[in-house]
Amino acid sequence: MEYDCIVVPSPVGELTLVARGAALAAILWENDKPNRVRLGEMRADDGCAVLLETARQLREYFAGTRQQFEVPLDFAGTPFQQEVWRALLTIPYGQTRSYGEIARQIGRPAAVRAVGAANGKNPISIIAPCHRVIGATGELTGFAGGLHAKETLLALEGIALSSDREALKTGHARRRAVHVDLAQGCLF
């Protein structure tokens, strides 16, 4: 299967948006590991409607005017991975969940490590907000885009990081104003 893609700048580095047909299939990080997300052949297509709409909604997200995304998604993965990724979609903007909470939410409380592995393979980062998943003690854990990108995304959503670890852990972090310098690359 062939995929369409465009590359867009953002405050967390260049993002490659990938579509299969009329649905978003992936958001890849600038320094993504090869084969983290398995895709077929990709071709540049700056006229693909779903990619242009995704880029518009991401601009709004980074500008602080969008909290939910409304684009069709095409998750390609195992049934378990898809279950985890659908659970990510239920984490509200500005809140966090632990891997254990996600495992319990999907009815597999002993599958914490498997949830972490599925989270790491999430093909549609930001929109399926894997950045909102943290360790059980509130620590920031691995992230395909890098911990700096995860911290930036959480800060953009007003999640206090270093000053209130308990609030971060419980998903009730204090909201605070965050300035994202749009001149630093969010002009797509």
> Any idea what the Cα angle at residue 141 is, between residues 135 and 143, rounded to 5°?
135
In 3D, which of 186, 101, 83, 87 has the Cα closest to residue 138? 101
> Would the CA dihedral through 146, 12, 75, 127 be positive or negative?
positive
Distance CA 100, CA 116 (A): 9
Residue from 5, 48, 130, 186 carrying the catalytic annotation? 130
Token pair recorded at residue 175: 């909201």
> Would the CA dihedral through 170, 29, 179, 52 be positive or negative?
negative
Distance CA 96, CA 39 (A): 29
130 is catalytic: yes
Distance CA 116, CA 134 (A): 10
Distance CA 139, CA 162 (A): 10
Distance CA 118, CA 102 (A): 11
Residues with catalytic roles: 130
